[in-house]
A and B are shown apart, each in its own frame.
Chain A
Amino acid sequence: MDNILSILIFFPALAGLLGFVVDKHSAKVYGIAVASIELLLSLGLWAKFDTTNGGMQFVEKSDIIPQFGISYNVGVDGISLFIVIMAALITLLGIILLRDNTKNMKNMIVSLLFLEMTMVGVFLTLDAIMFYLFWELSLVPMLYIIGAWGGPDRVYAAVKFFLYTFAGSLIMLVGLLATAYLYHEATGDWSFSILDWYTLELTETQQFWLFLAFFAGFAIKVPMFPFHTWLPWAHGQAPTIGSVILAAVLLKMGTYGFVRFSLPILPDASVTFTPFIMMLSIIMVIYTAMVAFAQKDMKQVIAYSSVSHMGVIMLGVFAMNAEGLGGSVFLMLSHGIVSGALFMLVGVIYERRGTKLMSEFGGLAASMPVYATIFGVMLMAAVGLPLTIGFVGEFLVLLGFYNVSPLGTVLAGSTIIIGAVYMLVLYKRSFFGPLTNEKNKDLEDLDKRELTALIPLVLIVVWLGVYPKPVLEPIDNSVKLLLTQMEKKAISTETKEAIVISKKEAK
């Protein structure tokens, strides 16, 4: 299994191609089978992964265009490992949750499998050009999923999603090419390998402009305020599966980009930009949480809450210490699990009632107790209750960022208050109160299909909340290594001071 990473990336794509010839009635089963194998493979990767090693593992490299240093180069470390596993898991559960009467099921399965390839590819590749390819390719299946299975405004939403993120990533591409050019200037060799770039020394001005170019691509994807407006549209129109994958995995590509590119390649600029990022993130946290509170549609609340939580993740990325950065990587996972589950839950009620407006509900706890319980667990994870997955990341990020800016942390920490406000209000409006609406009285509780998709998420929420060590340890090692590299590479003394190296060295 030396090339397990390549298998992980291309297996879904090949299976997706084969999917075209599968009988349309067995498409869902086929999808489940493929996604399960993919998940098992990713778990196998975890089993073989050396958790004490913070560096890249399972590295494969072969040239594509040697003249320009473009190569097929993949590798995995503690930061990307769990995001890949999560992507595989969410895809599988998303397919399980698909309704059997979904129209054009075969196309849906094929799109999802292609999407899985691009997602896994983005997180595993170590070559900037390959990264860019997967990054852009991921737009296509998503565009199709929103545009073909979405709500009434799906075309507008899909086009907006596509063009907005595409515009940002083009600027990012310019940044990538410029970095490669600068690398050529400095060493005389062409290389698009990220690991090579880690050793590249850039002046502060160069870093400044490159940071902005990367920022354009990543920030729109995250999405950071004020580039977030495509997200509510996309979520509002996307089918459940689209929202789940969008929130759980696609958004993480943005924050992952910051961790993989901006921080280690441009350490000085990252420190210089920290106040700016902090300001945007705090606005994201507070402003979007308030907007979420004003929503009338359940799904929109969750969509905006997603943005708000991504703000916390961004803060952690720029905390420049292992606690904050590691917490932020962990929060990417927990946000993926929790927001994915919440979107699934909203999808469940939407399937039953054909509406997501909170005013239509009320008292659902009485008619759908299991549903209400699972929703409650996810809600508690979303507001960061200790012993759920949500707490660990949020706590670590805020703890880490406190070292950077106490005031910023207090402001961003208000997320635990206003986050609770909109989530609890949503829960009260939908689940508490008397059952007044006739249509809600005979709603069926969760069936087997939905339970199969949701119970694993509930278990993960509790498991990683109580015992996050198996996940935190590899993250910790990789993050420490990353920070050490950053510190070594930084040119200004302020940057060196800003980066906190843990006393317990990375292994």
Chain B
Amino acid sequence: MIGVNHYLILSGLLFSIGFMGVLRRKNLLMLFFATEVMLNAVNIAFAAIGSYYGDLSGQMFAFFVIAVAASEVAVGLGLLILLYKKYGSLDLDVISSMKG
């Protein structure tokens, strides 16, 4: 029987994968994907816990996150295109301009 724990483990694994992606990836596009993975890991956890407690607000919140993520991706990808046009690359090491 697949219980809430399994969902949570899956969610944790996905979140870790996304987190590692955020830390390790150098390409901005890949960073976006990694954050999407993390968001979806959270969505899974929301949905799972929501069904575990028989409370719909978990799933509702997951939908809400998906909506926000979608709009964010739309804006984000637009910015990425602009960046790519400006620098010809999306590699973070190339486009960093602050020298602390």
The answer to whether any beta carbons of A and B sit under 8 Å apart in the complex is no
Residues of A within 8 A of B (CB): none
